[in-house]
Structure 1
Amino acid sequence: MDFTLTDEQRLYRDSLRDFVDREIVPVARDWEHEGRYPTEIVESMRKLGLFGLAVPEEYGGLAADTVSFALTFEEISRGWMGVAGILGSHAVSCWMLARHGTDEQKDRYLPDLATGQKRTGIALTEPGAGTDLQGITTTARRDGDDYVIRGTKMWITNARHADVLPVLVKTDPEATPRHRGMSILLVDAGTPGLEVTKDMGKLGYKGTESCEVVLDDVRVPSSALLSGVEGKGLQHALSSLETGRINIAARSVGIAQRAYDEALSYARERTAFGQAIGDFQAVQLRLAEIAVQLQAARLMTYWAASRMDDGVRMDTESGMAKIFASETALQCATDAMRIHGGYGYSTEFEVERLYRDAPLMSIGEGTNDVLRSVVAKSLLAGKASIS
């Protein structure tokens, strides 16, 4: 077993780290509080080719291995998790298009998505359906050679910038089981009836928009059906969420790493009772626990990513990594705030933002409680083992 990065992965990580320290860390806190969209950071990520992470080389992408994919989201989230969300939804959608799209769909969309000239997201969740995607009510009825979409999507990242936007719909609302009636349709920006109605107010995860999207009799051609086959939409979505859970796990590691960095620095610099607070055993124990949990989460995330690179089904592994890393991010952010004391509650310190960003990691890409059930069912069915 090899727990080290390759030379290429290490160089890639170091270049990302330099980019984050130079262009994200100095502005993240101020821009986040101002509600400012990180246009300049997005442009730099585009120039670095990061929007092509999940796009095959034949379409101009990086075709990054999954460990490098994880490294990307870890490093960017260490600087500003919200910015990682811009890239994350785009990458998950690109991966789905590359794996399940028809040749025509891949030729049409992937080259521009690889360069970042165009961006994308993925419209799955609804006001009444989050983790339970089979509960969606958005429909697409066939009308000649077209589909006509009607429904509302919620919490859609990149909605205002997405061109194209994959939308999960029910092409056969009466199908049993329900997933057999679900499909994904590719909706171009500017299509009549497609409207981004509002940005959702959020506790954290600032920097990128999370929107309500209304589809009011949106008409798309039958060629917009992902893979060209009806009834495969939930399968396509769930397969892409395997990469999404690696993405969330890696973002969680980035949050935990920044919490550790901030806590360690503060423990060295802050004095109380005539000495650095890092000299007190209570603070030392908390720092050690942050470091232990952080490194364990990192190794589990890389392990799950490497399993995907091995070409095996890894929904159990990605779920385990997402659960553990996201819970670690929550705990590390909280412990870092405790080490900071009253200053940890101040908007002038980074840990306040980490404390607000971390909870989303336990919710996004499937809540942790649901994922625990998924992992357990896989173990009980003998589809996965721990050894």
Structure 2
Amino acid sequence: MDAETFDQFIDQLRRYVRDRLIPAEKEIIETDTIPPAIIDEMREMGLFGITIPEEYGGAGMNIAQYTRTIRELAYAMPCFRSIISITIGMVTSALKNGGTREQRQEWLPKLAGGMIASFGLTEPGSGSDSAGMQTMAVRSGNGWVLNGTKRYITNAPQAEVALIMARTSREPLPKNAHVSAFIVPMNTPGITVGKSDKKMGQAASHIADVIVEDVHLPADALLGLEEGKGFITAMKSLDNGRLSVAAASVGYAQRALDSALRYANERKAFGEPIANFQLIQQMLAESDIEIYASTTMLEDAARRADAGENVLRKAAAAKVFASEACGRIVDRVVQVYGGAGYLAEYEAERFFRDARVYRIYEGTTQILQLQIAKHMLREFNAGVA
């Protein structure tokens, strides 16, 4: 998307977030559901297809534009990002990177039109540890039969299609070549979606188990028609997913800080606004500094990704820093609100609950620290050799 068109889109999106989405939050929190009318509006705005190439009906945004869009959208409550980000950052990315021409032609126009998707990697006994994956795919005639259970799958209750990771070899293979990816319509016989899990926060963003029992798939359900590429494709998609979580952390941290600024100027103590107190100012300033640092890391990682660099470490670092910073910021916001910050009547406690999962999504802080260190050591040793 050219720069001028993108700027116009961002202006439109910012108005939509503030005039339409934020006023709808109270109803959404009460019902735990995004109104269908809002989802239809998001489809009409093209939000489900922002990174899909124009030839498939999308807007063709690059990664930098995508993360900027997510920052703007994430100023509102997190459910609006989650309903589109799995489709955009994970499934669409996997299809673009690893799908055949025919798979892209079949699925990308549907996703651009607003089809909701899920990404099935995590299981009851495994997440980042692919060796522990239990879901199996075995050949059956010209197709495949899948069995297993996926856990904590975002959008599962609403999804129409899922990209499901499954073993195609019982024995672990080098470079995780025992894991393949399958495009699975959610109405396929044998697919069962569990009850939506009750969560700490993030109302209307639904997660659930996906149970796969003797699910028969045609041969062309295998992403790229090639075994052993699923985990690699998943990891490449996770770079986009991690940048999306970093962008969401930045957007929501800004929302929380803006709320704290308003409250600090309205709330009076000892005859003056608490915004005049230096220790309140310190918390506000520290939060602004961390948002700036998070934004800079995010923009740098996105720019490098658009330039074709391997951004595994950079995307992980941006996600870790931005999500941890968001956690610190929403904690300060509760502190600025004081006793009111602990009450559900005020929005500070919701910010606190909503933000906590950003340090877990798409790889916990600790897993990503290990991943960053592993690649640092690998590059160091390669340089020494």
Please say if 1:179 is aligned against 2:176.
yes
Quick one: distance in 2 between partners of 1:221 and 1:357? 40
- 1:33 shift after superposition: 3.4
In structure 1, which of residues 327, 332, 337 is the aligned counterpart of residue 329 of structure 2?
332
Asked if structure 2 preserves the Cα contact closer than 8 Å seen for 1:128 and 1:136, the reply is: yes
Shifted more, 22-31 versus 216-225: the winner is 22-31
In structure 1, which of residues 25, 29, 37 is the aligned counterpart of residue 26 of structure 2?
29
Quick one: distance in 1 between partners of 2:31 and 2:322? 29
Matched residues, percent identical? 37
In structure 2, which of residues 82, 107, 110 is the aligned counterpart of residue 109 of structure 1?
107
- 1:353 shift after superposition: 1.4
Quick one: distance in 2 between partners of 1:217 and 1:64? 38
Number of aligned residue pairs: give it. 379
Structure 2 gaps of 5+ residues are none
1:124 corresponds in structure 2 to 121
1:77 corresponds in structure 2 to 74
1:318 corresponds in structure 2 to 315
Q: SS at 1:122's partner residue?
A: strand
- 1:8 shift after superposition: 4.8
Q: SS at 2:118's partner residue?
A: coil
In structure 2, which of residues 132, 136, 150 is the aligned counterpart of residue 135 of structure 1?
132
Q: SS at 1:94's partner residue?
A: helix
Q: SS at 1:382's partner residue?
A: helix
Quick one: distance in 2 between partners of 1:304 and 1:271? 42
- 1:274 shift after superposition: 0.6
In structure 1, which of residues 57, 60, 63 is the aligned counterpart of residue 57 of structure 2?
60
Asked if structure 1 preserves the Cα contact closer than 8 Å seen for 2:157 and 2:196, the reply is: no
- 1:96 shift after superposition: 0.9
1:215 corresponds in structure 2 to 212
What is the identity, as a one-letter code, of the residue corresponding to 2:37?
E
Aligned pairs for 1:274-293 within 5 A: 274-293=271-290
What is the identity, as a one-letter code, of the residue corresponding to 1:339?
V
- TM-score, normalised to structure 1, is 0.94
What is the identity, as a one-letter code, of the residue corresponding to 1:98?
K
Q: Deviations over 1:268-320 (max 9, x none)?
A: 11101110000111101111111111111111111111111111110111011
What is the identity, as a one-letter code, of the residue corresponding to 2:24?
V
Asked if structure 2 preserves the Cα contact closer than 8 Å seen for 1:140 and 1:148, the reply is: yes
- 1:7 shift after superposition: 5.0
1:12 corresponds in structure 2 to 9
What is the identity, as a one-letter code, of the residue corresponding to 1:374?
Q
What is the identity, as a one-letter code, of the residue corresponding to 1:258?
R
Runs of 4+ aligned residues of structure 1 deviating over 4 Å after TM superposition are 5-9
The structure-2 alpha-carbon separation of the partners of 1:27 and 1:378, relative to structure 1 and needing over 3 Å to count, comes to same
The structure-2 alpha-carbon separation of the partners of 1:154 and 1:122, relative to structure 1 and needing over 3 Å to count, comes to same
Quick one: distance in 2 between partners of 1:289 and 1:175? 46
- TM-score, normalised to structure 2, is 0.95
Quick one: distance in 2 between partners of 1:305 and 1:8? 19
Please say if 1:148 is aligned against 2:119.
no
Quick one: distance in 2 between partners of 1:215 and 1:193? 6
What is the identity, as a one-letter code, of the residue corresponding to 1:281?
Q
Q: CA RMSD in A?
A: 1.7
Quick one: distance in 2 between partners of 1:374 and 1:222? 33
- 1:359 shift after superposition: 1.2
